[in-house]
């Protein structure tokens, strides 16, 4: 079972993630969107969306530092284990709570706003369940890694080496098997989240406006100041030709004088 979970399943998840992104881009480009519902409700969205997005950004940075940077590197630069865990607890807890509060607000908004709820699909509901489970599990592991018993504080010597070993196609199954149950559950939920990622609205996270850097410039021209009504000032352009439909250009009618000649 350990070989299946920690030696095979990660690569299956990566294959589904990459294959799903390619399929989604080729056959569902118009669906590659967040399906924004800001038009229906914006008050709660202005609160929940920044909390969630800024929080998840810090969470991602924390995962990169914790999983990619070896313990020996932080020891070499003088970062003690206590300082590392205090920093992880402070930033991780704040970012995790902000992310959780943000997603709860978004779910509440989606459930209580009629038009938004009507636009919610089963796919969205599944995504929210897995996403919340991953966030809660992550908060639990953050607390356990600091306040748990000594044998629980081993993710930098178990989960991190296993994660790095995946990139060289030599998964350290033994290291991951020694991790605590909380970290194993968090890892499994995370892999499930990435597996369904391409098929949900979360796919917009892989969108970057690169074409914006190469699009042609948009030329803006200022308008001339409009003359006051009745001022008689005309804008530059074609000169009037005195057609009958221009009242200002009509000539007065000719009236006969005593000699019979017409006068103006």
Read off the pLDDT of residues 65-120 as tens digits, 9 standing for 90 and up: 889 988 888 888 888 878 887 888 888 889 999 999 999 999 999 999 999 999 89
Which residues of the chain carry a pLDDT beneath 50?
151-153
| Eight-class DSSP state of 179 | S
Annotated ligand binding at 150? The verdict is: no
Within the chain, strands assigned E span 255-256, 262-263
Q: Looking at the domain covering 2-213, what would its CATH class be?
A: mainly alpha
Query: How many Cβ atoms are within 10 Å of 48's Cβ, its own excluded?
Result: 20
pLDDT in the model for residue 209? 73
Annotated ligand binding at 211? The verdict is: no
- Spatial separation of the C-alpha atoms in residues 87 and 80, rounded to whole Å: 11
- Please tell me whether the overall predicted TM-score, pTM, comes out greater than 0.85 for this model: no
The two structure tokens encoding residue 223: 């308008």
Helical spans, DSSP H, in 113-172: 114-118, 122-147, 159-166
| Eight-class DSSP state of 35 | -
Question: What are the structural domain ranges in the chain?
Answer: 2-213
pLDDT in the model for residue 92? 87
């Amino acid at each position: 079972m350990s070989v299946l979970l920690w030696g095979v399943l990660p690569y299956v998840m990566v294959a589904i993630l990459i294959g799903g992104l390619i399929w989604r881009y080729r056959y569902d480009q118009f669906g590659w969107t967040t399906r924004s519902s800001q038009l229906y409700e914006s008050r709660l969205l202005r609160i929940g969306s920044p909390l969630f997005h800024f929080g998840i950004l810090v969470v991602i940075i924390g995962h990169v530092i914790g999983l990619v940077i070896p313990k020996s590197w932080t020891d070499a630069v003088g970062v003690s284990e206590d300082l590392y865990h205090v920093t992880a607890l402070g930033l991780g807890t704040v970012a995790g709570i902000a992310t959780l509060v943000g997603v709860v607000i978004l779910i509440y908004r989606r459930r209580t706003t009629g038009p938004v709820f009507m636009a919610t699909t089963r796919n969205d509901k599944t995504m929210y369940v897995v996403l919340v489970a991953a966030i809660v599990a992550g908060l639990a592991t953050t607390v356990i890694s600091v306040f748990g018993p000594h044998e629980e504080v081993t993710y930098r010597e178990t989960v991190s080496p296993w994660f790095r070993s995946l990139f060289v196609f030599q998964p350290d199954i033994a290291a991951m098997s020694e991790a605590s149950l909380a970290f194993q559950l968090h890892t499994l939920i995370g892999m499930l989240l990435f597996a369904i990622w391409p098929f949900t609205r979360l796919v917009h996270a892989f969108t970057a406006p690169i074409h914006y850097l190469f699009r042609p410039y948009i030329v803006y021209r200022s308008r001339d100041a409009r003359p006051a009504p009745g001022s008689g000032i005309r804008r530059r352009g074609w000169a009037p030709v005195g057609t009958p439909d221009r009242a200002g250009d009509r000539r007065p009618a000719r009236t006969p004088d005593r000699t019979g000649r017409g006068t103006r």
